[in-house]
Structure 1
């Protein structure tokens, strides 16, 4: 996958912003700012899943959660309506943050608009790149966050989340998800979720 000078500069600025995350995650014996690690995982999975991804899609994957900690979940009501409102506000927030950085790097308006379109998850199932982004988000969750999540929740909740995740994915995404490694319980719940 080709990396233009602008793309590398945008990645650098996205990563500098995410490096300020006060939340850390431990991975392979080291501590990382949580959203910086997430952004790099998004890029890695995108590179595997869609090696010919456009520059706009590469940019979007890298800034998908940019500065997410600045709008904590706790600042909204702790119910379904509060959760949905938080998610909508986050999408707009990420699009604004990303656009500001992309302007600084010198991207044209068409590219900036496209990144915002993708960050806002417009036309899922209809727009190929929005769908690819959603597949990558789901694959990152399944590869890196699903197993720790399993330890904290009961089977019914996990199955419900897996079914919602599966519905958002394409056939290509399903195939990639089934190629990941899972624990025995993790695999059993994936199998149960997708057979219902």
Structure 2
């Protein structure tokens, strides 16, 4: 199986797993399993942001939230400590789940380990692929999930989250983010957050 065939087979398996998501999201009049739609958006943004992305990064981007619903946020304490613990457990869960699929598809140990390294978000700001992954995650949030988010939270919380998001991004990510189409309210809050 050639590289591109393996990549497509891995995407297919990741998508089949994410298609089991019982949570749904309606986009442009059509209902999707939430994590399947998220994974496809991640690939779409990566292709625009970093068209020459390594194969390991392409794989990571597609499976970054794989089967996320299996570990619900509510299964941890609803405070900062619980949130951080949930996020850490999710990273390990995604790495294990993705690794098993990649081995079934026929990827070598080096590729599997690289994808797992990226899923664990190791060496942010130091590793180029980890940083690109983080930029893509932030861009997907800002493009598709920011407006719904600002309607659910007060301005102070939105500004704080926007600032934390901005800090994780590279200058290239900042430039791409400023080129996104925000609602008037979204643009106002982003502008306020990054100017403070």
TM-score, normalised to structure 2's length? Answer: 0.98
Structure 2: runs of 5 or more not aligned: none
| Count of aligned residue pairs for this structure pair | 194
How far apart, CA to CA, are the structure 2 residues paired with 1:78 and 1:153?
A: 16
| Deviation digits for residues 135-193 of structure 1 (CA, Å, limit 9, x no counterpart) | 00000000000001111111100000000000000000000000000111100110010
Q: Which structure 1 residue ranges, 4+ long, deviate > 2 Å from structure 2?
A: none
Matched, 1:62 2:55: no
Matched position secondary structure for 1:151:
helix
Residue aligning to 2:158 = 158
Q: CA deviation at 1:54?
A: 0.4
TM-score, normalised to structure 1's length? Answer: 0.98
Q: CA deviation at 1:75?
A: 0.2
Q: 1:1-196 residue pairs with structure 2 within 5 A?
A: 4-196=4-196
Q: CA deviation at 1:84?
A: 0.0
Matched position secondary structure for 2:20:
coil
| Deviation digits for residues 93-122 of structure 1 (CA, Å, limit 9, x no counterpart) | 000000000000000000000000000000
Supply the RMSD in Å over aligned alpha carbons. 0.6
Matched position secondary structure for 2:115:
helix
How far apart, CA to CA, are the structure 2 residues paired with 1:76 and 1:106?
A: 35
Q: CA deviation at 1:52?
A: 0.1
Q: CA deviation at 1:74?
A: 0.2
